[in-house]
Amino acid sequence: MLEIISRGETYGYEITQQLRELGFTDVVEGTVYTITMRLEKNKLVDIEKKKSNVGPPRKFYKLNTAGQERLEVFWERWEFVSSKINELKSKEIQRRR
């Protein structure tokens, strides 16, 4: 979600749909909103309310500096963890003993 928001201002309902298009087909709105709430709480996003002509007002999120830093940290950790997991998957383990 941080990455999705980093690509440009967006709002909860749209994030849900993007996740579904990405392949996470069973993501429901509730899940996404609990996460946007957390992003707010942790002050990783700036918020702007804009009215929509097809429904109730949308709450747009935009990464602030802290959010961008958090995203960078995420990607570093992702690189680390995913490389280790793939290493574990492919390689024989060294067994001491």
Partner DNA sequence: ACCGCTATTCAGTGATACTATGTACTTGTA
Partner DNA sequence: TACAAGTACATAGTATCACTGAATAGCGGT
Encoded one letter per residue, x for contact with a copy of itself by CB under 8 A and - for no contact, window 26-65 reads ----------------------------------------
User: Do the Cβ atoms of 45 and 5 come closer than 8 Å?
Assistant: yes
The residues in 36-75 that bind DNA, with binding defined as CB under 7 A, are: 36-38, 51-60
Partner whose binding site includes residue 31, from DNA, a copy of itself, none (CB under 5 to 8 Å by kind):
DNA
> Which residues, 14 to 33, sit near DNA by CB under 7 A?
14, 26-31, 33
Which phi and psi angles does 87 have, rounded to 5°?
-60, -45
Backbone angles phi, psi at 73, to 5 degrees: -60, -40
Look at residue 40 and give its three-state secondary structure.
Answer: helix
Query: Judged by CB under 8 A, which stretch of 26-34, 48-56, 62-70, 79-87 contacts a copy of itself?
Result: 79-87
Tell me how far apart the alpha carbons of residues 60 and 89 are, in angstroms, rounded to a whole number. 40
